Amino acid sequence: MQNRIQIDGVWYVREQQEPEVQLDITRFKGMVTESDKYCFEATKIKDGSVPGKYYDDCDIEFTDKRVKPWKTDLWDNNAWMRGVLDNNPESLAELDNLGPQGEAELKAFLKVLKEEGWI
């Protein structure tokens, strides 16, 4: 056995050392809504410098499930999100490819995010 050594009649076994791993953990909280055609997942990142505080803005990962392979997009402009809620024409122009159901689902989700103080 190569992992043993005998010294003065006593056998010793080589110790296995675990590699030291440094992790950079990002904590977050989230909300998600999903239908047969779309998925909207909002996340808020925890501010590591202030206990219990999260950054003011949130991100939404959008998944369009109408055609495979599914397409995803990340939306991180909270002013644009508020514009969608306010029916701002410039904001709504970005939603042309969603169709009425997608736009309605997004607006309903944004309303919840606004009520929760996320946007």
Confidence of residue 50 (pLDDT cuts 50, 70, 90): confident
Instruction: Report yes or no on 111 lying in a domain.
Output: yes
Q: Is the CB of residue 29 less than 8 Å from the CB of residue 44? A: yes
Q: Domain span at residue 58?
A: 21-115
What pLDDT sits at residue 82?
96
For residue 46, what are its two tokens? Answer: 């925890």
Rounded CA separation 38/40 (Å): 7
What pLDDT sits at residue 68?
95
Consecutive H or E run containing 89: helix 89-92
Instruction: Report yes or no on 4 lying in a domain.
Output: no
Q: How many domains is the chain partitioned into structurally?
A: 1
pLDDT higher than 70, residue 34: yes
pLDDT higher than 60, residue 1: no
Q: Give the amino acid at 59.
A: D
pLDDT higher than 90, residue 109: yes
What pLDDT sits at residue 18?
86
